[in-house]
Amino acid sequence: MCDFAADAEAARQILVGRVLTVERVRQLNAKDYFYQMLKDNPEMLKIYPGIENKLLEGAIDCHIHAFPDFVYRSQDMIQIAIDASKAGMRALAFKDHWNISCNAAYLAQRHIDYLIEKGELTHRVEIYGGSGTCFGMNPDAIRVALQYPNFKMIWFPTFTSLGFWRGAGQPEKGGVRLISESGEVLPEVAEIMKMAAAKKVGIGFGHTDFKELLPLAKKAKELGVRATLDHPLLELNKLLLDEMLELADLGVYVGTYCQPMIPSLYQPVADPMETINTIKAIGPQRCIIGSDFGQVLHMDSIDGMRVFIRALLAFGIKEHEVRMMVHDNPAKLMWLD
Write the CA distances from 128 to 116, 131, 155, 226, 293, integer angstroms.
18, 11, 13, 16, 16
Q: Quick one: pLDDT at residue 305?
A: 98
DSSP state of 308: H
Confidence grade of residue 310 (pLDDT, cut at 50, 70, 90): very high
Proportion of the chain above pLDDT 70, given as a percent: 98
CA 184 centroid distance within chain: 25
DSSP H helical segments within 123-186, as ranges?
Answer: 139-145, 162-167
What is the residue-wise DSSP string for 18-76?
A: TTEEHHHHHHHTSTTHHHHHHHH-GGGGG--TTTTHHHHTT-EEEEE--BSSSS--SSB
Interval 21-38: pLDDT, tens: 999 999 999 999 999 999
Please choose, from the candidates 281, 284, 282, 287, the residue with its C-alpha nearest in 3D space to the C-alpha of residue 318: 284
Write the CA distances from 217 to 165, 205, 225, 326, integer angstroms.
20, 9, 9, 22
Q: Quick one: pLDDT at residue 3?
A: 74
Q: Quick one: pLDDT at residue 186?
A: 98
Q: Quick one: pLDDT at residue 294?
A: 97
Q: Quick one: pLDDT at residue 2?
A: 58
Confidence grade of residue 99 (pLDDT, cut at 50, 70, 90): very high
Proportion of the chain above pLDDT 90, given as a percent: 89
DSSP state of 269: S
Q: Quick one: pLDDT at residue 8?
A: 67
Q: Quick one: pLDDT at residue 29?
A: 92
What average pLDDT does this structure show over 290-297? 96
What average pLDDT does this structure show over 77-103? 98
Please choose, from the candidates 306, 305, 277, the residue with its C-alpha nearest in 3D space to the C-alpha of residue 290: 305
Helix (H) or strand (E) holding 289, with range, is strand 287-290
Which option is the CATH number for 52-333: 3.20.19.10, 3.20.20.140, 2.60.40.1180, 3.40.50.800? 3.20.20.140
In the chain, domain spans: 52-333
Write down the number of H helices and E strands in the chain: 16, 10
Q: Quick one: pLDDT at residue 263?
A: 82
Q: Quick one: pLDDT at residue 4?
A: 62
Interval 195-248: pLDDT, tens: 999 999 999 999 999 999 999 999 999 999 999 999 999 998 999 999 999 999
Please tell me the pTM assigned to this model.
Answer: 0.95
Q: Quick one: pLDDT at residue 312?
A: 97
Q: Quick one: pLDDT at residue 19?
A: 93
Please choose, from the candidates 100, 78, 81, the residue with its C-alpha nearest in 3D space to the C-alpha of residue 90: 81
